Structure 1
Amino acid sequence: MSLSASKTYFNKVIAVFEQVQKTQSDSIEKASDWIVELFKKNGVLHVFGTGHSHIISEDLFFRAGGFAPVNAILDVNLTMHGGGSLNRELNLDRMEGYARIVLDNYDLRAGEIIIVISRSGINPIVIETAMLSKERGLKVIALTNLKQSQGSTSRHSNGKKLYEFADLVIDSCLEVGDACIEIGEGLPKVAPQSTVVCCAILQSIMAEVATRMYRDGVIPPVWISINMPGGDERISELREMFGGRRLKIN
């Protein structure tokens, strides 16, 4: 039995990566420059996404090979975790005012950077996260699907979308609707791309950041695995350095 659908999925993901490299290199470079300067000043990079996009924000947070001064803004009510979570998450995504409640739990400082991740960028939670972050003096990077966002209607009363509040937009170049494999006429597509693509985009930026910092004579503050020799000591050292910023690693 051939693996035609499996191969098609890999090929489609690779095609998105190629499109990202072709069209988003300037934005990726600018994001890398900003984050390098932020980390050199001992600032914190904040990352936010809801629903499955919270997985992407977690991918930068407290893991081997990742930077210590990264703060994932994780509100369990905006994830798929816990009883009755689907309706809860959908409703809060679309509720104006909830973003302020979430952000007030975090130490967001002027001059820092927040990456807001949303495929469509039309729900109040991500729109207001960008708005409020800008009000607090942060630079906002939006990681979004511009084609889908521009072709969709905002659910916020101001009629705006996430990318309209961003200082920098990185287009994920995904298919509209995320899923990419057709299985039959009239049936929904399967196999979403956004998690693997967006995680790769952000990890490519962080790899660039680490390389540039080292080139400039700065040792990047990077976690190593707790299961590797010296892992416990490294984690304790970085917690001591950055834990006071109310990162969720205390």
Structure 2
Amino acid sequence: MAFRYVDEALRRIDGLKERQLPQLTNAANQLIRTLRSDGMIHIFGTGHSHLLAEEAFYRAGGLVSVRPIFIEPLMLHESAWGASALERDPDFAKTFMAAQPIESRDTVVVVSTSGRNPVPVDVANMSHAKGASVIAITSVAYTRSLSSRHGSGQFLADVADVVLNNESDVGDAALTHPKLDTPYCPTSTVIGATLLHAVIGEAIDQLADEAFPLPILKSGNVDGADAHNLALIERYLGRNELLK
């Protein structure tokens, strides 16, 4: 058996650090600034992109200061077709962004593979308006071959402070077969998660070198972790309501 997807995913991950070292460095440095300021790392995505917000939130070995922006109508489980339609609504981001507790010391990670729809672009712009820095995880290939659906004509990559390219093909699906007319098996999630953990890990490494105290959660399935995690939750609950 070939299991070609494993080979394709590894091919795309191989050399990722070398191809995007400046961008990865800039993103890690931004997270370092936020962590030094005791700020929050907010993560937002629509559709399957919201999976990266879940990926880093309340995670064993992860930072308790990661706060996902979960907007359920954009997350597929209520209505897959409806979520896709809402992402294109030029007014929808206004319905939830004003209430987000984003501060100037924070970083907002906005995930959108196409980066062409209004909601992710508006989330980035509204985060800037609150004084936060924005890291985009997106596919640069879309910006080179398609038009934006945002009224400004801009893509997410155009409005972010740092752009991490998930290097997905237009359409995301990575495998083809001569007997099929549609590609299949997307790569945006596996590459996006790799990029996200890479910059968080680098930020932790550099701050740990300085003996900077870091709010890292332990696995709840390791003996003695509960007291450690509860102390962190009590410290951050006022800024991350999802920890309750």
| Aligned residue in 2 for 1:17 | 13
SS state of the match for residue 226, structure 1? coil
Within 5 A, what are the aligned runs for 1:28-43? Answer: 28-43=24-39
SS state of the match for residue 221, structure 1? coil
Q: Distance in 1 between matches of 2:201 and 2:97?
A: 27
Q: Distance in 1 between matches of 2:165 and 2:240?
A: 30
| Aligned residue in 2 for 1:244 | 238
One-letter amino acid of the counterpart of residue 24, structure 1: Q
User: Is the Cα contact below 8 Å between 1:19 and 1:173 reproduced in 2?
Assistant: no
Within 5 A, what are the aligned runs for 1:154-193? Answer: 154-185=148-179, 187-193=181-187
Q: Distance in 2 between matches of 1:202 and 1:39?
A: 15
User: Is the Cα contact below 8 Å between 1:20 and 1:172 reproduced in 2?
Assistant: no
Aligned with residue 98 of structure 1, among 82, 92, 101: 92
SS state of the match for residue 242, structure 2? coil
What is the total number of aligned residue pairs between the two structures?
Answer: 244
User: Is the Cα contact below 8 Å between 2:37 and 2:105 reproduced in 1?
Assistant: no
Q: Distance in 2 between matches of 1:150 and 1:137?
A: 29
Q: Distance in 1 between matches of 2:7 and 2:241?
A: 38
Q: TM-score, normalised by structure 1?
A: 0.93
User: Is the Cα contact below 8 Å between 1:44 and 1:71 reproduced in 2?
Assistant: yes
The offset of 1:183, in angstroms, is 2.2
> Which structure 1 segments of 5+ residues have no match?
none
The offset of 1:23, in angstroms, is 1.4
SS state of the match for residue 158, structure 1? coil
User: Is the Cα contact below 8 Å between 1:179 and 1:189 reproduced in 2?
Assistant: yes
Aligned with residue 221 of structure 1, among 191, 209, 215: 215
The offset of 1:136, in angstroms, is 1.2
| Aligned residue in 1 for 2:224 | 230
One-letter amino acid of the counterpart of residue 96, structure 2: V
The offset of 1:111, in angstroms, is 2.9
| Aligned residue in 1 for 2:75 | 79
The offset of 1:17, in angstroms, is 1.1
Q: Distance in 2 between matches of 1:247 and 1:211?
A: 27
| Aligned residue in 1 for 2:103 | 109
Q: Distance in 1 between matches of 2:21 and 2:241?
A: 30
Check if 1:64 corresponds to 2:60: yes
User: Is the Cα contact below 8 Å between 2:41 and 2:65 reproduced in 1?
Assistant: yes
User: Is the Cα contact below 8 Å between 1:20 and 1:173 reproduced in 2?
Assistant: no
Cα shift readout 1:150-209 (whole Å, capped 9, x = no counterpart): 211111222111111111111111222111111234521111111111011111111111
| Aligned residue in 1 for 2:23 | 27
Aligned-CA RMSD value:
1.3
Check if 1:137 corresponds to 2:121: no
Cα shift readout 1:109-167 (whole Å, capped 9, x = no counterpart): 11311111111100011010011111111111111100123211111222111111111
Runs of 4 or more off by more than 2 Å in structure 1?
183-186
The offset of 1:9, in angstroms, is 1.4
Give identity over the alignment, percent: 27
Cα shift readout 1:23-53 (whole Å, capped 9, x = no counterpart): 1111111111111121111100111111000
Within 5 A, what are the aligned runs for 1:38-57? Answer: 38-57=34-53
SS state of the match for residue 18, structure 2? helix
One-letter amino acid of the counterpart of residue 206, structure 2: R
> Which structure 2 segments of 5+ residues have no match?
none
User: Is the Cα contact below 8 Å between 2:111 and 2:138 reproduced in 1?
Assistant: yes
